[in-house]
DNA sequence: GGCCGCCAAATTGTCGACAGTTTTTGTCCC
DNA sequence: GGGACAAAAACTGTCGACAATTTGGCGGCC
């Protein structure tokens, strides 16, 4: 398999680290996990990956640690690594934390909403309106919420979000591999909610932003079946 | 779903990983940073640490990555590592996130409050009452809140807390190195607040737990001077 | 005195190797 | 067929080494 070329990180905030083998492998593995090529619970050993990617174990090791940070793999007591298996409990956990983080972020974002942010969000909205596949919508949805997080300007809040976002992607992927089509009304309501969130953020009303974000995320969670 | 038997160590990791060189070095470095032996902004290079600890660079490298995860060191674009320099902005950031996480945790903890947890918290309370140094009180305070986080049973919530807790320790350390004595009324009010929090948690009222925790943490933040 | 380029030292990213464990395989016996 | 047991394979943690960069210092030049 070839290493993913990795378009540069969309977020301008995080420091662009020099491209390194460990980074390429991290991205490649993340993609494999989220896309389901590596199924939950399957073993992930350093030598096998090092062999398949034609690198030494060192960068692989580093990549696995990064993926652990993102919650996509877990290490057992003896250091063995496996792809994480998300239970419905885990999903609940993730979503609960997500509500906390996003509502807090929305509150901050409302206090420092910029034109640039608004442009980015509107852009995302337009893309979503013309999206066709469920996968596309999900990714745009995550990107939208990621931008709101970034707009909060709170580094540690963003870091906490980044620690669960890949798990959300993984979960959404699993869901999508069961369904296939995209429900038109879900798309419509998501777009509507996002549009409304932008307005609330632009209004600068922090309390309302917090509450609306909490409500939107929570109802989004309800809209998706969390049982696995 | 198994939960921590609560029998073992108080600051329990979810998994007791086998003792490893990387772990020892992580702990040693963390201590050096939090205690101020390594001052904020100072360089942390792999060879120097490897040399001083008589190990190779590999475990040092891993330790530094762990410390980065804990926010105690930062890497620049070319991979150089330094001890983090916390600005008043950072502290605000940390505390804001802390309020979010702890109030959420309190809400969950109230819903599943156990006798074991109550015992641990009361134990902490007693220790704090007989504490003499400011350092002692701070550590017990952090331990108390850590236990509340654990009591929430939300792994990812706990993980997010662990990602900022060391930075809190670092900040408290710097503060303490400026003052010296412990204010009796601060101690008293902290103990009182903790006692009250235990009661609220035991009552099982999730909303009240959330609100009380948010209030307590926020006022604690106000009580400490965040300007650096 | 201050700025510029050059050389030496230091540092990171990556590699291959080895020892100690853990897991798997294969075999023999019941 | 199933279980105990031993050999074999696989894996992790750690080490030392090397090349490519980056940093720091030094002398020269304006």
Residue B129 has pLDDT above 60, yes or no: yes
pLDDT, mean over chain B: 89
Contact A154 B93 (CB under 8 A): yes
Q: What is the pLDDT of residues B185-212, one digit of tens each?
A: 778 889 999 999 999 999 999 999 999 9
Confidence of residue B24 (pLDDT cuts 50, 70, 90): very high
Q: What is the pLDDT of residues B140-167, one digit of tens each?
A: 999 999 999 999 999 999 999 999 999 9
CA distances from A61 to A17, A78, B138 (A): 18, 15, 36
Contact B155 A93 (CB under 8 A): yes
Query: Mutate which of B156, B159, B164, B210 to disrupt the A interface (most A C-beta within 10 Å)?
Result: B156
Q: What is the pLDDT of residue B32?
A: 97
Instruction: Quickly tell me which residue has 């990795």 as its tokens.
Output: A6
Q: What is the pLDDT of residue A4?
A: 39
Q: What is the pLDDT of residue A13?
A: 55
List residue ranges whose Cβ is under 7 angstroms from nucleic strand C. Answer: A 18, 20-22, 55-59, 62, 78, 80; B 43, 45-48, 57-58, 61, 78-81
Q: What is the pLDDT of residue B135?
A: 85
Percent of chain A with pLDDT over 70: 89
Q: What is the pLDDT of residue A7?
A: 40
What string of DSSP letters covers A5-51? --PPPS-SSS--PPP-HHHHHHHHHHHHHHTTSSPTT-B--HHHHHH
Helix (H, G, I), strand (E, B) or coil at B73: strand
Range B88-223 classified under CATH 1.10.357.10: no
Residue A16 has pLDDT above 90, yes or no: no
Closest CA of chain B from A189, distance in Å: 28
Residue spans of alpha helices (H) in chain A:
21-34, 46-53, 57-69, 88-111, 115-129, 134-152, 155-176, 184-203, 206-223
Closest CA of chain A from B26, distance in Å: 15
Mean pLDDT of the A75-103 span: 95
Q: What is the pLDDT of residues B72-122, one digit of tens each?
A: 999 999 999 999 999 999 999 999 999 999 999 999 999 999 999 999 999
Nearest-CB residue to B163 (from A93, A96, A160):
A160
Nearest-CB residue to A156 (from B65, B94, B157):
B94
Greater confidence (A156 vs A134) lies with A156
Helix (H, G, I), strand (E, B) or coil at B81: strand
Strand locations in chain B (E):
73-75, 81-83
Structure tokens that stand for A136 in this block:
């596309």
Query: Helices B57-69 & B21-34, crossing angle to 10 degrees?
Result: 50
Domain residue ranges of chain B, discontinuous segments joined by +: 21-83, 88-223
Percent of chain A with pLDDT over 90: 74
Q: Is B40 exposed, middle or buried (0-12, 13-18, 19+ CB in 10 A)?
A: middle
CATH number of this structure's domain A21-83: 1.10.10.10
């Amino acid at each position: 398999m070839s290493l993913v070329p990795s378009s540069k990180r969309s977020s301008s905030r995080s420091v662009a680290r020099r491209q390194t083998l460990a980074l390429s492998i991290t991205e490649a593995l993340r993609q494999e996990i989220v896309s389901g090529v590596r199924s939950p619970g399957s073993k992930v050993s350093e030598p096998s990956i090092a062999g398949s990617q034609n690198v030494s174990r060192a960068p692989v090791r580093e990549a696995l640690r990064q993926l652990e940070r993102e919650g996509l793999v877990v290490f057992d007591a003896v250091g063995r690594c496996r792809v994480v298996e998300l239970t419905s409990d885990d999903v609940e956990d993730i979503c609960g934390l997500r509500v906390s983080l996003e509502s807090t972020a929305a509150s901050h974002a409302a206090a420092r909403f910029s034109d640039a942010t608004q442009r980015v969000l509107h852009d995302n909205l337009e893309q979503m309106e013309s999206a066709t596949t469920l996968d596309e919508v999900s990714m745009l949805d995550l990107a939208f919420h990621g931008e709101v997080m970034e707009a909060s300007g709170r580094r540690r809040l963003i870091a906490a979000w980044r620690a669960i976002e890949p798990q959300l992607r993984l979960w959404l992927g699993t869901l999508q591999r069961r369904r296939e089509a995209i429900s038109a009304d879900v798309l419509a309501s998501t777009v509507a909610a996002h549009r409304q969130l932008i307005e609330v953020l632009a209004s600068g009303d922090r309390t309302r932003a917090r509450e609306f974000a909490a409500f939107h995320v929570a109802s989004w969670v309800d809209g998706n079946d969390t049982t696995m």
